[in-house]
Structure 1
Amino acid sequence: MSHFVKHNAGSWFIIANPTSGNRNFSKQWKEIQQLLTNKKIDFSVAFTQFSKHEIELVTTAIQEGFRNIISIGGDGTLHHVVNGIMMQRYVKTSDITIAVIPLGTGNDWIKTYNIPNNVEKSIEIIHRNKTILQDIGALETDATSISYFNNVAGLGYDGYIVNKLNSLKRFGAIAYLVAGVSGLLFYKKSVFTIIFDDKKIETNCLMTLFGICKFSGGGLQFTKDINTSDGFFDITIAKNLNLFDLIYNIKKLYNGNIVNHKKIETYKTKEITVIPKNLNPFIQADGELIGTGKVTAKIIEKAIRFVVN
């Protein structure tokens, strides 16, 4: 029998993004430390110092024996933590558990699991440690690079909005909506060839979304009947939706009924390729821009364990 103790195995490694959140981070961090200590949750911490630093920090933590990671920040922080886990080769990705303490304005992933946007309640959820093995999406773009996502990815109009909105993020969900709706006046729709299973759809397309979870764009629901660990993407193809359609159906964008609109088609599939004609639309993953143009999405079943409510 080995007498080596698995170093750090039961402890949490925290990756915190000090630039997320509108309030004073050091004050929030003091509160978080206190709450974790009160709950006797053992942890080490590292703070991100530059864009995508999470990927490096995750790799180091896993090498040091950590198997439980807490992401403190918004959807972007979580996205990079997930990418770090999927890219490392030390352990099976499903051996890793991620929990989230949400800060910042963009927190769409937590909504699917009813995790409140609240530090104290999210730590209570971590303490309870109820988990689910969730599917993860892999995106292959022209640049032969692979990006992973844990929530919703897509290309076309939603990528265009993410590109426009990086400067507006701090204004929250309403800015998303205002910029999102008004941007339709300027956005040029493209013809997409969409290939999956035995189908080939060629259509004028506002956007094509690959969904694992329910919400994107600050609480919009564009996906139908999601199940986060059924091994399928929930695909939404928004065809010729225009400004009037969106304004007229604004409630449906938030309650999920937009998927029943006659200009929207939904499918379930494990792999899909989208080839835009003549334009190079932006591709977004979890609200982060990852490239432009053609993309193939593949599902990786039950890839990472997440702490959920």
Structure 2
Amino acid sequence: MSHIDKININSWFIIANSTSGNGDFSKQWKEIQQNLKHKNLDYSFAFTQFSKHEVDLVQNAINKGFRNIISVGGDGTLHNVVNGIMLQRYVKTSELTIGVIPLGTGNDWIKTYNIPNNIEKSIEIISKKKTILQDIGVLKTEDNQLTYFNNVAGLGYDGYIVNKLKSLKKFGAISYLLAGIYGLLFYKKSIFKIIFNDKVIETNCLMAIFGICKFSGGGMQFTENVNTSDGLLDITIAKNLTFLDLVLNLPKLYSGKIVHHKKVATYKTKQITVIPQTTKPFIQADGELVGTGAVSVEIVEKAVNFCVK
């Protein structure tokens, strides 16, 4: 009997980022274990040891026969787990399921599905195993690097903010706002050439956003009418928005009404290419920096199962 046969098909493999959870990880890990035991969930686990370690851990787990993965951490941990799943070649990605136990400052992906930022409640959701087969986006940068994303990606102002966040993380949840304000003051807009659906748009652009889910940047909403499994990217092009425009419309960034601003355009498409003409702006995917310069983005339809409410 092979090792793979021994793994219960309902068993979970947990990948935990011990640096998330605002320095209280050991206490949170105890709480996670108690709740898993209470729900009689069978699991093995591993802690990440270095940046992007999740990718290797996921692939090893799948190779051993696991088909259910739990991501313990923030949006970055989940992003790396998703990349591990999408990059592996052992099984079809649609045969795999991800559950999320959110820790850390930024948890934007869970907001689309109203998953509470709470250990006990998130494990309750995982135990019920009600899933949605969600689309996943894939970015290709100038150096032909592929990065998958499960929430929101973009380039321009939002990439600049993600880069700035690295030095502000110590301020916790307010760090997003601080980085956003810093970006408004110092980010220089550039002309983007944007190609999709036989259209070519050349415009002075603050940022171009590619969304699968609804929230990014600590709860901001740049996309509307989001359907996470319709096979389409939700594109938002924020054109020549000024510092004043954004300050006056700050509540609309959080309510999603910013998409109705006359300097903002939204589209739906399966594929898009953005070529910055004057600068090499940062590209971010799920709040992780993935490159600079031009990018092309596609959708992988109904790619992975996620446990949702």
Give TM class, smaller chain.
over 0.9
* 2: CA distance, partners of 1:179 / 1:53: 27
Please state how far the C-alpha of 1:214 moved relative to its aligned partner: 0.3
Residue 126 (structure 2) aligns with: 126
* 2: CA distance, partners of 1:280 / 1:8: 48
Q: Is the 8 A contact 2:67 2:95 kept in 1?
A: yes
Q: Is the 8 A contact 1:279 1:293 kept in 2?
A: yes
Please state how far the C-alpha of 1:305 moved relative to its aligned partner: 0.3
Question: Mapping of 1:46-195 within 5 angstroms?
Answer: 46-195=46-195
Q: CA-to-partner distance for each residue in 1:148-199, whole Å, 9 max, x for gaps?
A: 0000000000000000111223423422113212321211101000000110
SS in 2 for 1:172: helix
Q: Is the 8 A contact 2:5 2:65 kept in 1?
A: no
SS in 2 for 1:184: helix
Q: Is the 8 A contact 1:106 1:169 kept in 2?
A: no
SS in 1 for 2:185: coil
Q: RMSD of the TM alignment (CA)?
A: 1.2
* 1: CA distance, partners of 2:18 / 2:26: 8
Question: Mapping of 1:244-263 within 5 angstroms?
Answer: 244-263=244-263
Amino acid across the alignment from 1:13: F
Please report the TM-score for the alignment, with normalisation by the length of structure 1.
0.97
Amino acid across the alignment from 1:41: L
Q: CA-to-partner distance for each residue in 1:6-50, whole Å, 9 max, x for gaps?
A: 633210000000000114211110110011001001100000000
Q: CA-to-partner distance for each residue in 1:115-156, whole Å, 9 max, x for gaps?
A: 011111101111111100000000000111100000000000
Residue 266 (structure 1) aligns with: 266
Q: CA-to-partner distance for each residue in 1:82-114, whole Å, 9 max, x for gaps?
A: 000000000000000000000000100000000
Please report the TM-score for the alignment, with normalisation by the length of structure 2.
0.97
Amino acid across the alignment from 2:257: N
Structure 1 segments, 4+ long, off by >3 Å, are none
Q: Is the 8 A contact 1:172 1:218 kept in 2?
A: no
Q: CA-to-partner distance for each residue in 1:197-255, whole Å, 9 max, x for gaps?
A: 11000000000000000000000000011000000000000001111111111111101
* 1: CA distance, partners of 2:190 / 2:6: 53
* 2: CA distance, partners of 1:220 / 1:120: 26
* 1: CA distance, partners of 2:15 / 2:7: 18
* 1: CA distance, partners of 2:7 / 2:124: 25
Aligned length: 307
SS in 2 for 1:202: strand
Residue 33 (structure 1) aligns with: 33
* 1: CA distance, partners of 2:147 / 2:289: 10
Note closer, same or farther for the CA distance 1:5–1:182 as it changes in structure 2 (3 Å cut).
closer
Residue 200 (structure 1) aligns with: 200
Query: Structure 1, unaligned stretches of length 5 or more?
Result: none
SS in 1 for 2:305: strand
Residue 237 (structure 2) aligns with: 237
Query: Structure 2, unaligned stretches of length 5 or more?
Result: none
Amino acid across the alignment from 1:21: G
